[in-house]
Amino acid sequence: MSGGVPRRSSRVRSMLRGPRPESVPVLVGRACALVGLLDVAAGVFPRFRHSRMHTLAEVLPGAFGPFAAALSLSAGMLLLLLAHGLKRGKRRAWRAAVALLPAGAIAQFSYRHSLLGALLSAALLVPLLRHRDQFAALPDPRSRWRALANFVLMGAGSLVLGLVIVSVHPNRVVGDPSLADRLTHVLYGLFGFEGPVDYQGDTSWTVAFSLGALGLITAVTTIYLAFRPEHPAARLTEEDEARLRALLDKHGRRDSLGHFALRRDKAVVFSPSGKAAVTYRVVSGVMLASGDPIGDVEAWPGAIERFMDEARAHSWTPAVMGCSETGGEVWTRETGLDALELGDEAVVDVADFSLAGRAMRNVRQMVKRIERAGYETRVRRVRDLGEAELERIRQAAEDWRGTDTERGFSMALGRIGDLADGDCLIATAHKSDPEPGPYGDLKAILHFVPWGTDGASLDLMRRDRAADPGMNELLIVAALQAAPRFGITRVSLNFAMFRSALARGEKIGAGPVLRAWRGLLVFLSRWFQIESLYKFNAKFQPRWEPRFVVYRASADLPRIGFAAMQAEGFVTLALPLPRFLRRHRPAPRPCAHALTEHDARAA
């Protein structure tokens, strides 16, 4: 491998490995989850306490009586909430568990005089206290929105569990209450009031205390999340951005995705020498880097070490999306992580591009047809456009976005026309209409970011839905033909996921496994741009550069995939505002977060 990256000893490489699950935190987390489930079952289902599980349930915190049922339910819910944090070695989850288990032991001895139950709670404390050094992970980035999410999820869960609590005492219910009566009783009970459903004996108190406990847990956890100190996700500061731009000026031509490191919703870690950096975002506990490290390849190991140290400190799952073959080799060698080919990047060498020949017939005919329809193209640097035209382009790109959710992370810049991005290229298509729309004759937009001094990398493609088909082909051809005027010799187009599988699977002699895999990809293309994007890229006869995902263990791949889909905007856990309620914001500094979608690359 070129680049002269220094090799490290096996001892140093083992120190840089990701935060692999420690046996004690994982076992303690699983034990707390199991105890939590049994506590919930003991508090909710009356028959559970008299079944073959009676002996086991009897030693759990709070198994009998109205107070005990509510306490059992509360302890079970809290332990279930803490289990995931304990598995990840979170310090705050450890503190909460250490405080909760003695409380459960005291309650056992006070209410039930159960020495065995108290000893069980104390036994769970032993590994927590003995291995407290393994529960030192720092908190994740968080915001006030976590409180709202907790209220919605816990409220829904409490409502469902409350209906179960109300309905599991059929022999004690007075009359035959309807579903509406049961639901009303649950809603009243969550707020501590008596509802319309009546029970015989102490059952009414058991149900009331259990519903009250659910409502109290929901309220307390929501209040805690709302008023705890906010620790928002890191943003790229102006100083960090200036340092990254300096590194890109020297080493930017190495990776076509380098300029996307300047997204301002990423964080960055630098090598000790400051000659290399890794940008990332934390999504659902996954520390997601994109592309290769920025800067001198000799300093990459230092930046990677800092990245892995940060992941280990927070117990995040490390992952890299879309790194090159060189980057994948360095990541796997320095950290012991594994790499998997994710797809291929389409790169067009400008000197070799031509519309002549049979292979380019379809593109040539489409471009000529659109030009005869009266469309013209313009390719310019961002710094050469006036502010009024830039604002019109920004507004058009926002309104022409195909989805309500912004998309893009690893291969999208997230802004257009920023004053600091003067070297970016904008290709636009224009056509005069008798009745011009809100954006005049503007019909389509392509935005390219710099790839060193002699390259460009496609960022986004937007077009007016009323424009003729083929706008993207027209503007790509226009950009390639205008590239020599800007000193550009290579252009990176879209990223095609699983391109090699699609290409080999349709050839003669492909085996049944490969054909089945291709069939699945074609089926998934109904919802994701997989096959269509590959075929679109292939029109321009590019050379294909493989891109890889770097991961710690195969079991992490589903979680990494879900986090990547969240980062790219394909999966969102928040409800976006309706478009008519959104306020348009200018993109140049200091406003740096007018994000844009990257329809083609993010697919």
Strands, E assignment, 369-441:
376-381, 425-430
Question: How does pLDDT run across 540-576, given as a tens digit for each residue?
Answer: 999 999 999 999 988 889 889 888 888 887 765 544 4
50 pLDDT band, cuts 50/70/90, is very low
443 in the same domain as 366: yes
| Position 245 pLDDT exceeds 70 | yes
Q: Give the model's pLDDT for residue 133.
A: 80
549 in the same domain as 417: no
481 in the same domain as 392: yes
CATH number of the domain bearing residue 432: 3.40.630.30
The whole domain housing 391 covers: 349-492
486 in the same domain as 374: yes
227 pLDDT band, cuts 50/70/90, is low
Percent of the chain with pLDDT over 70: 78
Provide DSSP, 197-215: --BSTTHHHHHHHHHHHHH
Question: How does pLDDT run across 346-359, given as a tens digit for each residue?
Answer: 999 999 999 998 88
Which of 227, 250, 277 represents a domain boundary (last residue)?
227
182 in the same domain as 209: yes
Question: What Cα–Cα distance (Å) separates residue 450 from each residue in 262, 327, 473, 529?
Answer: 11, 20, 20, 25
179 in the same domain as 118: no
126-129, long-range: CB < 8 A, 24+ apart? 127/24, 127/27, 127/28, 128/28, 128/94, 128/97, 128/98, 128/101, 129/98
Alpha-carbon gap, residue 156 to 164, rounded angstroms: 13
578 belongs to a structural domain: no
Does this model's pTM top 0.85? My answer is: no
257 in the same domain as 274: yes
For the chain, helix, strand, coil in percent to 5 are 50, 15, 35
Question: How does pLDDT run across 587-599, given as a tens digit for each residue?
Answer: 444 333 333 333 3
Please name the residues in contact with 21: beta carbons below 8 A apart, sequence gap of 6 or more. Answer: 87
Which of 176, 204, 227 represents a domain boundary (last residue)?
227
Question: How does pLDDT run across 379-389, given as a tens digit for each residue?
Answer: 999 999 988 99
42 belongs to a structural domain: yes
Residue 584 CA, distance from chain mean position: 25
370 in the same domain as 272: no
Among 32, 122, 108, 116, which Cα is nearest to 64's?
Answer: 108
Which of 115, 134, 153 represents a domain boundary (last residue)?
134
In the block, which residue shows the tokens 């190991």? Answer: 301
Q: What is the three-state SS of 248-295? A: HHHHHHHCCCHHHHHCCCCEEEECCCCCEEEEEEEECCEEEEECCCEE
474 in the same domain as 391: yes
466 in the same domain as 355: yes
| Largest pairwise CA distance in the chain | 91
324 in the same domain as 260: yes
Tally of structural domains, the chain: 4
471 in the same domain as 371: yes
Residues comprising the chain, all counted = 603
| Position 513 pLDDT exceeds 60 | yes
Q: Give the model's pLDDT for residue 65.
A: 56
3 state SS of 218: helix
